[in-house]
Structure 1
Amino acid sequence: MQTRTYNHVDYLWDDTKAASLENDEVALFLYRSNILGSDLRITNYGGGNTSCKTIEKDPLSNKEVEVMWVKGSGGDIGTLTRQGIAGLYTERLRNLKNVYRGLEHEDEMVGLFNHCLFDLDSKAPSIDTPLHGLLPFKHIDHLHPDALIAIAATKNSKKITREIWGDTMGWVPWQRPGFDLGLQLEKCLKENPGIRGIVLESHGLFTWGDSSYECYLNSLEVIEIASEYIEGHVKKNGKVFGGQKLESLPSGKRIEQAAKLAPILRGLCSSENNMIGHFTDEERVLEFINSNDLEKLAPLGTSCPDHFLRTKIKPLVLSLDKEESLDNFNATVQILQPQFEDYRNDYKEYYEGCKHSNSPAVRDPNPVVIIYPGVGMFTFAKNKQTARVASEFYINAINVMRGAEAISTYVALPRQEAFDIEYWLLEEAKLQRMPKEKPLSRKIAIITGAAGGIGKAIAEKLVAEGANVVMTDVNQEALKETTKSMGKDEAIQTICDVTNTTSIEKMFDLSCLNFGGVDVVIHSAGLAISKPLEETTMTDWQLLQDVLVKGQFLLAQFGSDIMKKQGLGGNMVNIASKNGLVAGPNNVGYGTAKAAQLHMTRLLAAELGADKIRVNTVNPDGVIVGSKIWEGEWAEGRAKAYGVSVDELPSHYAKRNLLNEIILPEDVANAVFSLVAILDKSTGNTINVDGGMANAFVR
C-alpha cells in the first residue's frame, strides 16, 4: 500500500498485478524491474540493474540453496524478461573472494561468473553481478536516477549525502564497476549497519528491501527525497545554469532550421560510417543549450558511466547563429567543417593521451551529441534506437548538471577514468559479440504508395533488412494499419500527395528530423486507367502524368538535393511497368506515363552519377494479388482488352509469362532490395519482374 505522494517519480505498483505474482518471486522481481525502468527519471534504457534472491533445490545435491537472479549483460530493466536474467549460486559467487587477485586482475573475474551459474539458460552475467551478490539483501535495485547522480556528481558529494540522509545512507567513492566495487559496497554496509542504501560517487544508487514491494518503495522514497532537496535549492537560487543567455527561435522556425541542417550534419558525422540521426528541442534541452553556463559545462562531459558510454566524451557545440541562413550549402559547410575537424582532432588527442598498451584501436572520432544553441540537440549513431537513447541519456546528463550546480559544483568523470570505461576490454568484447549489421542498416528510405500492394511489400522488406523507412500514401487509415507491425524506431508514416510540391517538401523534412536525411527514394505511388483513345479524357491523362511522372520528378528533385548535401551517394528506384516497353490496346494514357518514367530514370542516372546517386527502374507485370491497382475499372478494362472475365485475370497473367508464375508484391520488393543493397554498381537499369515477357525484354 502506498504510504506517501510522489511528485518526482511515478508510483506504478499495481496491487492486483502484484498479487497475481506473489507465488513467483522471480516474476515479481521482473515486474518491479519493468515499472522502475519505465520512468526515465529513475533509470534510462539499458541503465542500472535489479536482482532478487530465492531458495531453490540444487539439481545435483537435492539440497536447498540460495540463488540470485539478476539482470544479465546488455539488458534493459524496463523490458526485462526471464530470458534476460542470470541465475547464480549466491555462495559460489561470494566464494570468488578467495581467488580475487586485486584491481589489476579485475577483468578475469567476469569469466569466473559462469562457474557460478545455477540456471544453465542464463543470460551472460554482467560486470555488476558481484555488486548484488556480495550484499546480503533479498531484493536489490541499482539505479541511475538523475537526482541521485546529481548528488553523486558534486564536488562535495559525501557531505551532501550525509546532510540529506544523515546516517541512513552509505557513500562509496568513485570506482569503475567490477568485483572490487562489490567488495567496497560490502565494506560500506559492514561499517554502517542499518543503512537503507548506498550512493556511488559519480555513478548511481543502491537500495534494497526484504520484499520486492519494500525494495520498490525504498528506491522511490530515496529518489523523491533527493529530488525535493534539489528542487528546494533551485527555487532558492531562482535560476539554473547561470540564467538564460539567448532566446530560442519560435517552434516552427526551430523545426525548419533543424530539417535544413540535419542532412548536412549527418554527412559530416558520417565521415567514417553512415549515421542515423535524432532531433529534440524539448524544454529541458533548450534551457541548457541557451544558458550562460553551456560553455562551462558542456566540455566537462558526463559523470555516470552509462551516460558517458552512449554520448561520448563531450558534445559538439556548434558555433552557428540560430538564424543563420542554411540555404547556401557551401557556405554552411565552410562554417561547420572546421568545427568537426577540431572535434575529431580533440577526440584523437584524448585517445592518444589516455590509451594503454593493450587498448583497442581508436574508434569513430565524430561527435554523437551536437548542440545548436537556440534551436535544439541532434544525436547521431548507428541506428535510430541508439541515436534516440543517446539523446535520452544526454537529457539525463543535463538533469544531473542542473541538480549538481543548484546544490554545489558539478564534477564530471576525469578523462582517464572516462577513457578506461570507453575503451574497457570488456566493453570491446561486448561490441565484438554484437550481431552483424543487416544489409540496409544505417540507410534511410522513403517509399511512396506504401499503404498497400507493392509499396507495402517494399517497406516490409527494407525494414526487415535493417533500413529506417518513411512510409507515405494518401490513405491515412491504410498507412496506420501497415505500420502496426513495425517499431517506432524502424518506420514512421505520413500522408503525402506526390503531385503537390509542399506535401513532398514536408515529407522530406520529416525524414530529416526523424532520421537525419534520406538515402533511398522509392516511387511506388501509382494508379492505372485502361481506356481506348476515344474514351481517354484530359482528366485521365493529367492524373496519370501528375502521379506517375510529375511525382517521380519532384521526388528526384527534392531527394537528390538532400543526398548531395549528405555527400553519401544514394539510390532512387522507380516502380514503372511492362507497359512502358510494350504497346497494347486501351492503354495510351497509362503506357505513355510509364514510358516517361522509364526514360526519366535513364536521364536522372546520367545526371546524378557523378554524385554516386544511382537511379534504376523495376518493371512489374500482372501483380494482381494484394494490388490496389486491380480494384475497379482498371481490372475491367484489362479483362475487356484480353477478352477474359475479371475473375480469369490472375490465371491469364500467370499463364502468359515464360515461367508460368504468379507475380507477387514480394517479388517486386526483392528486386528493389537487390538494386539498393546488392547491385551497387548498377544505374540506369531496368529489372523486369514479370515471369518473363519476351516482348518486354529490354534488349
Structure 2
Amino acid sequence: MGRVNDQVQALLARSHELGADPATTNYAGGNTSAKGVETDPVTGDPVELLWVKGSGGDLGTLTERGLAVLRLDRLRALVDVYPGVDREDEMVAAFDYCLHGKGGAAPSIDTAMHGLVDAAHVDHLHPDAGIALAAAADGEALTKEVFGDRVLWVPWRRPGFQLGLDIAAIARENPQAIGVILGGHGITAWGATSAQCQERSREIIRRATEYLAARGRPDPFGAKLHDPLPAAERRARAAALAPLLRGLASTDRPQVGHFTDSDVVLDFLAHAEHPRLAALGTSCPDHFLRTKVKPLVLDLPPTAPPAEVAARLRELHEAYREDYRAYYERNAAPDSPPMRGADPAIVLVPGVGMFSYGKDKQTARVAGEFYVNAINVMRGAESVSTYAPIDEAEKFRIEYWALEEAKLQRMPAPKPLATRVALVTGAGSGIGKAIALRLAAEGACVVVADVNADAATAVADELGPDTAVAVVADVTDEDAVTAAVDEACLAFGGVDLVVNNAGLSISKPLLETTTRDWDLQHGVMARGSFLVAKAAAKAMVEQGMGGDIVYIASKNAVFAGPNNVAYGAAKADQAHQVRLLAAELGEHGIRVNGVNPDGVVRGSGIFAGGWGAQRAAVYGVPEQELGAFYAQRTLLKREVLPEHVANAVFALTAGELSHTTGAHIPVDAGVAAAFLR
C-alpha cells in the first residue's frame, strides 16, 4: 500500500474519470474506495484505513471531504457480530463506531462491500451496459458467455452488509476474477492499484458494450409507430403541455420540472414496445429511487388534438395515483414509512419527449438523466434477451427503506422559495438583477429576462444552470413575451412568480415630451407589464398552483413630480393594473401586488442611462450627489438601494403575506407626499 496522500489523490482522480460519463455511472450513483496505512496519532502505531465515497456524494465532483474514513480492523470485526440478513440494516449505525478521527462523510450502505473485499481498490458502478446484462432475464448465462470466469454473477440482493459478504466471498474464492455483475443492479470491480481497478471497471463495461453491439438485434423496441414531431412543433407542444403536467405532478407537493427531447427518448417513444417496457419500471435501485416505480405514459399519437391530450393526461394522472396507492398498500408493512406522494416523477409523451420532476431543478434534471439510463438498459437487455427488472416487492423495500427514510429526514429544511419558478423582467441590471439574485438565494429558479442579451446571460451565469436561464425579451413584443414564458415552462416546468420590473425613464417638461417619448415609456411599462402578466397568468391558471405577480411601480405612480408626465403616467398605469388584476385573478389563487421605490440611484440601470443627470438638473444638484439628495428629503434620511426593493419582493412572495393582494409597498425611506390613501 502506498503513501496515504497518494492513495487518496489516486482515488479522487479515478472517481472523477469514472463519474464524468453518465453511461458509466449516474449522478450521485456508485462508489469507489481505497485502502492504505496511516500512523495513528494517539498510539503512534500504523493503522489500516478505508477511504470510501460517503453517502449522497457524486463521483464526478468528489472531494476529500466527501470521503468516509474508517478503520479496517474495526469494520472487518463487524463480521463477528453480524446478526444476519434480517437485521442487516443495524450494521449501518455500527459503521459510525469504525470511523477514524473525525471520520469525514457519513458512510453509505455500500461501505461493507468496499471494506470486506480483500483488495486495495474497489469500484461499484451503474453502467448502462452492465445493468443491461444484470436486468436481462438470463443475465447469469449472459455473464458467463461474455466474461467466462473473469467476471462472475451475483443474484439480486438489496444493498447492505450481506451483499458485501457475498462479494467478498466470491473475490476470495475466485482469485482469477476481476469483478462481478450484480443481478438487477450494476457492477463491482477490484484491483491492487487504483489504475488496475479503474482498468478492470472499464474492461467490464467495454466488453459488455461490445457484446450488446455485436449480438444485439437492431429493433429491440419493436416496430416503429411514428416519427417525432418536427423540432419547432415539438418544443411548442412541450411548452403548452408543461404547465398542465407540472400542476398534475404537484398534486401532493410542489415540484420543479425539466424537459428532455433527446434522440434516445424520442426513439424509445416512437416504437411499439415502449408501453410494455415502461410499465415494467426501472431496475437499478439508484434509478427507481429517482424516477419512481414507473412513469406515466401518454397513450395518444403525437398528432392528437391538444384538448384531447390534456383531457387524457388528467385521466391518466388520476389512474396513476390510484395505481401507486394500490402498489403502496400491497407492499407496505406495519412499520413502513407513510406514503410519500402518488404523483409521477417521469411523464412520457410520444413524439414530444420526457418531463421529469423533483424538489428542485437539479433533482428534476437528474431524474430525467436516470430515465435515459433506464432506456439504454432496456434497449440492451431486450436486444439480447428479455428485460426483467427486479420485482415490485423488492422495489418497494428499497423505495420505503427505513434507511432511505432516515436519509430524507436528515435533509435540510427547504428555503422559503424552494420549488418556485420566477420570471423577472429587466433582470440584467439594477433593481431587476438584485431581485433575481435575492429570489435565487431564497431557493427559487429564475428566468432572467432582459432586452440586453449579454446582461441577462451574465446574471444567469452568476446564478448557475440549475438555478437560472437567460432569456432575451423585449416586453413590448407580444411574441417575445410569449416565448419568454414558454422558455420558463421548458426550463423549469412552468412559472409561479412574475416580477414586472422592465422600465426606462425620460425626464422632460410637458411641452418637450414627444409622442415617441410617451409611446416608448408606456410601451415598456404599461403595455409590457400587461403582456407579461397576461402570458404568465395563462400558464399559472393552467398549472392550478396559484402564483404571484409583482409590479415594480414607483413613488411617481401616486406623487406628482415636475417634468415627469410620461414616466409618471406609465407608472400610474402599472399601479392600477395591480388593483385590476388582483380583483380578477384572485379566484385562481394568484396574488398581485406592487412595490413603489423611489430614489434608487446606486446600481440602477435607469439612472445610469441618463435619467440621473436629468433629475439632478431638475433639482439643481450634482449627479453624483443625487442619491444623498433623495435620502435627505425622506423621513428616514436613508438612501434606497436595489437590494431594498428586492427585500420587498421577497416579503410579498415568501408566504408570510399569503393573504395580501392588491397592495402597494412603498420602498422610499418615507416620502410623506407619496403615502397611500
TM over 0.5: yes
Aligned: 1:342 with 2:334: no
Tell me the secondary structure at the aligned position of residue 65 of structure 1.
strand
Aligned AA for 1:527? Answer: L
Aligned AA for 1:462? Answer: L
Root mean square deviation of aligned Cα: 1.3
Length-normalised TM-score, structure 2: 0.98
Q: Does the 8 A contact of 2:422 with 2:497 survive in 1?
A: yes
Shift in Å, 1:381: 1.4
Distance 1:282 1:336 in 2: 22
Aligned: 1:424 with 2:396: no
Cα deviation digits, residues 82-114 of structure 1 (max 9, x gap): 111100011110100011010111111111001
Q: Which residue of 2 aligns with 1:467?
A: 444
Tell me the secondary structure at the aligned position of residue 615 of structure 2.
helix
Q: Does the 8 A contact of 1:22 with 1:28 survive in 2?
A: no
Q: Does the 8 A contact of 1:86 with 1:119 survive in 2?
A: no
Tell me the secondary structure at the aligned position of residue 485 of structure 1.
helix
Match among 310, 313, 321 for residue 293 of structure 2 = 313
Q: Which residue of 2 aligns with 1:8?
A: none
Match among 92, 100, 111 for residue 93 of structure 2 = 111
Q: Which residue of 2 aligns with 1:88?
A: 70
Shift in Å, 1:487: 1.8
Instruction: Label 1:485 to 1:582 Cα distance change in 2 as closer, same or farther (>3 A).
Output: same
Q: Does the 8 A contact of 2:4 with 2:36 survive in 1?
A: no
Aligned: 1:214 with 2:192: no
Distance 1:182 1:634 in 2: 70
Shift in Å, 1:233: 2.0
Match among 659, 662, 670 for residue 636 of structure 2 = 659
Aligned: 1:98 with 2:72: no
Q: Which residue of 1 aligns with 2:671?
A: 693
Aligned AA for 2:163? Answer: L
Q: Which residue of 2 aligns with 1:304?
A: 284
Q: Superposition pairs for residues 245-394 of structure 1, below 5 Å?
A: 245-326=225-306, 328=307, 332-394=309-371
Aligned AA for 1:36? Answer: L
Aligned AA for 1:260? Answer: A
Aligned AA for 2:56? Answer: G
Distance 1:193 1:212 in 2: 18
Aligned AA for 2:669? Answer: G
**Structure 1 segments (4+ residues) deviating >4 Å:** none
Aligned AA for 1:131? Answer: M
Q: Does the 8 A contact of 1:138 with 1:209 survive in 2?
A: yes
Size of the aligned set, in residue pairs, is 675
Shift in Å, 1:251: 1.1
Shift in Å, 1:332: 4.9
Match among 44, 47, 55 for residue 29 of structure 2 = 47
Distance 1:645 1:60 in 2: 69
Shift in Å, 1:240: 2.6
Distance 1:309 1:603 in 2: 45
Aligned AA for 1:309? Answer: L
Aligned: 1:679 with 2:661: no
Q: Superposition pairs for residues 399-418 of structure 1, below 5 Å?
A: 399-418=376-395
Shift in Å, 1:632: 4.2
Distance 2:572 2:665 in 1: 14
Match among 128, 148, 154 for residue 172 of structure 1 = 154
Shift in Å, 1:370: 0.6
Cα deviation digits, residues 378-424 of structure 1 (max 9, x gap): 11111111110000001000000100011111111100000000000
Deviates more, 1:624-633 or 1:500-509: 624-633
Q: Superposition pairs for residues 536-547 of structure 1, below 5 Å?
A: 536-547=513-524
Q: Does the 8 A contact of 2:241 with 2:310 survive in 1?
A: no
Tell me the secondary structure at the aligned position of residue 188 of structure 1.
helix
Aligned: 1:33 with 2:10: no
Q: Does the 8 A contact of 2:54 with 2:107 survive in 1?
A: yes
Distance 1:633 1:418 in 2: 64
Distance 2:358 2:610 in 1: 48
Identical amino acids, percent of aligned pairs: 52
Cα deviation digits, residues 218-255 of structure 1 (max 9, x gap): 21122111100001123xx2323113122211111111
Q: Does the 8 A contact of 2:152 with 2:179 survive in 1?
A: yes
Shift in Å, 1:142: 0.4
Q: Does the 8 A contact of 2:4 with 2:38 survive in 1?
A: no
Distance 2:145 2:304 in 1: 48
Distance 2:4 2:403 in 1: 37
Distance 2:56 2:97 in 1: 20
Q: Does the 8 A contact of 2:118 with 2:172 survive in 1?
A: no
Aligned: 1:440 with 2:409: no
Q: Does the 8 A contact of 1:369 with 1:380 survive in 2?
A: yes
Q: Does the 8 A contact of 1:301 with 1:413 survive in 2?
A: no
Q: Which residue of 2 aligns with 1:239?
A: 219
Q: Superposition pairs for residues 190-209 of structure 1, below 5 Å?
A: 190-209=172-191
Aligned: 1:68 with 2:50: yes
Distance 1:633 1:205 in 2: 64
Distance 1:287 1:469 in 2: 31
Q: Which residue of 2 aligns with 1:558?
A: 535
Q: Which residue of 1 aligns with 2:372?
A: 395
Cα deviation digits, residues 512-546 of structure 1 (max 9, x gap): 11111100110111100000011111110000000
Q: Does the 8 A contact of 1:142 with 1:207 survive in 2?
A: yes
Shift in Å, 1:485: 2.1
Instruction: Label 1:191 to 1:121 Cα distance change in 2 as closer, same or farther (>3 A).
Output: closer
Q: Does the 8 A contact of 1:450 with 1:525 survive in 2?
A: yes
Cα deviation digits, residues 314-370 of structure 1 (max 9, x gap): 1111123312332x5xx6543222211110011011111011110001111011111
Distance 1:252 1:125 in 2: 47
Aligned: 1:593 with 2:575: no
Deviates more, 1:54-63 or 1:650-659: 54-63
Tell me the secondary structure at the aligned position of residue 463 of structure 2.
coil
Distance 1:260 1:333 in 2: 10
Distance 1:365 1:59 in 2: 51
Tell me the secondary structure at the aligned position of residue 296 of structure 1.
helix
Cα deviation digits, residues 109-143 of structure 1 (max 9, x gap): 11100110113141110110000000011111100
Q: Does the 8 A contact of 2:31 with 2:53 survive in 1?
A: yes
Match among 580, 592, 600 for residue 623 of structure 1 = 600
Match among 452, 461, 465 for residue 488 of structure 1 = 465
Deviates more, 1:204-213 or 1:339-348: 204-213
Distance 2:179 2:516 in 1: 75
Aligned: 1:120 with 2:73: no
Instruction: Label 1:648 to 1:55 Cα distance change in 2 as closer, same or farther (>3 A).
Output: same
Aligned AA for 2:272? Answer: N
Shift in Å, 1:22: 10
Q: Does the 8 A contact of 1:171 with 1:188 survive in 2?
A: no
Shift in Å, 1:310: 0.5
Cα deviation digits, residues 576-621 of structure 1 (max 9, x gap): 1101111111001100100111011111111111111111110110
Tell me the secondary structure at the aligned position of residue 214 of structure 2.
helix
Q: Which residue of 1 aligns with 2:132?
A: 150
Tell me the secondary structure at the aligned position of residue 119 of structure 1.
strand
Length-normalised TM-score, structure 1: 0.95
Distance 1:198 1:632 in 2: 66
* Alignment gaps of 5+ in structure 2: none
Q: Which residue of 2 aligns with 1:9?
A: none
Cα deviation digits, residues 140-179 of structure 1 (max 9, x gap): 1100000000001111111111111111112111000000
Q: Does the 8 A contact of 2:498 with 2:550 survive in 1?
A: yes
Distance 2:249 2:275 in 1: 22
Distance 1:221 1:655 in 2: 74
Tell me the secondary structure at the aligned position of residue 102 of structure 2.
coil
Q: Which residue of 2 aligns with 1:649?
A: 626
Shift in Å, 1:23: 5.6
